A and B are shown apart, each in its own frame.
Chain A
Amino acid sequence: MTHTENFPTELTGDDIPMVRFQKVRKSYGALTVLDDLDLDVAAGEMVSIIGPSGSGKTTVLRMLMTLETINDGVIYIDGKPLTHMPRAGKLVPANQRHLRMRRADIGMCFQHFNLFPHMTALENCMEGPVQVLEIPKAEARDRSEELLELVGMIEKKDQHPSRLSGGQQQRVAIARALAMRPKVMLFDEVTSALDPEVIGEVTNVIRKLVSEHKLTMLMVTHQMGFARDISDRVCFFYGGKIEEQGRPAELFGNPQKERTQQFLSAVREAV
């Protein structure tokens, strides 16, 4: 079924993408959610993924975070395979150890924040660095405080998540993910569960990251205006495939495919 043993064990050349999906297929039983996906994201690039629900956009991020396994194809991070590992010059499915090693390059923020409720904002940010990266506590604290400062949450650092609003929780979640120093950040509908008046405080943090930090980012979003403002590239997903992609001005201003036009006009009407 899989032909992944013929895939390269490492990407070579001058222009190695930070993320590469190569012929990736994902299905749940008979339902194929992603079909033969090819997608490259360059280092430092901000790519937004838009599309109707059920188009497979969240699955793209979840596969990259290794929250979902893939059925075929290979995902590469920074030129090295993520979902597979080389053995005797060929690629075989990754074991837990390999996944854990490669996963360190990726950070993710979730729609429902998923902060650890039994820890304060600061402890949430320190947990990964102290437990996983084994950074000394004092150093992890300083770094976490810097990040909480960056997301504007330093005043609330000793509060538990239950005392924070949705927007505040999401900002802490962004700091928590950044504390692990990922090369790639994934944002999965991070504003979808927020009240309209607090969406701005989260999008502003992401804007700041885009302008001040050289992070590779993939973002699934329903905020078309936001995607248009900050993305280097926008991918429109439909039926498990990339129907159309391009620079935001092109894709939003002059969509070529009929399905893209339909989706964008439907979204505009809803606003």
Chain B
Amino acid sequence: MDIANAFALLSNFVLVPALAYGAQLALGALGVTIIFGILRFANFAHGEMMSFGAMAAILATWFLQSQGVSISPLPTALLALPIGILAAIGMACLTDRFVFRFYRRKRSNPIVFAIVSVGVMFVMAGLIRIIIGPDDQSFADGARFLVTVREFKAATGLDQGIAIKQSQVITVVVALIVVAFLFWFLQRTRWGKAMRAYSDDEDLALLSGIDPEKVVLIAWIIAAALAAIAGTLYGLDKTYKPFIFLQILLPIFAATILGGIGQPVGAVLGGFIIAFSEVMVTYAFKRFLAYLGPDGWVPDGLVQLLSTDYKFAVSFVILVAVLLVRPTGIIRGKVI
């Protein structure tokens, strides 16, 4: 029985990585949920939007690095992040002006919007691969670890260490700031309230003099900014590879639906639930249980529910379960 070591082990392999991953998913899901709340369609291009913003941030990072600009020990990418956000916002405004606005005026069916977003996804995927190429890109610099395994062991005297990557801390901190700002915006400001009203009841909002075009524009700006931040943080924490962003769309959609479509609080909640389930279901609890059990006892198998290959199957199973049991998601309703 060794609770301290068991907890250290679990933190190192489950809690810390899942927290960072959850923050990335939450940011992505917030963007999807806002578009869903205001424009009422599932945006298949959101993954590519994340990729696009991250790509712009990476290009800016490289430029800054070549100029010798550095904010070490923090990664240069943080300095370049505003460029990524601006690029994503520009892209979102362009697609809205030249693609989505037409269907909005025609009041097309949500499926038509979804199909059109597939077209946007194709175009963005092509652009990204032409500009930066289909391969892995590394752009992280600065200090790698805040706490290394060795330091932790030396400080606490435990057998198990906890390593905390700098990118993980940055991810969580940035996500906290962004989410807090977003909620402040939605709850307190005039345009935030207008957005909530519009999401709640479009016709009533129009009657009370809210400009729909402006609401839509703000929704795109917020979603694009969130996407760029999420994409860059994901790239910083793991790796930037264009094709990953089509795969990550699934857990993001799952988080959105799990939390309740159009619900920002739900999106954050959903992101963390999905991330924690993905990591926990595919984690082998053998050593963790060995620490908790009587001395010298070790479980027979790996005590792993699913092999890590099926990571994203977890998010999907949750998605199906939610759709069957409680299609409205954890937080009911469709209010933004």
Task: Say if A and B assemble together.
Answer: no
User: Interface residues, chain B, CB within 8 Å of chain A?
Assistant: none
Which residues of A does B touch, CB under 8 Å? none
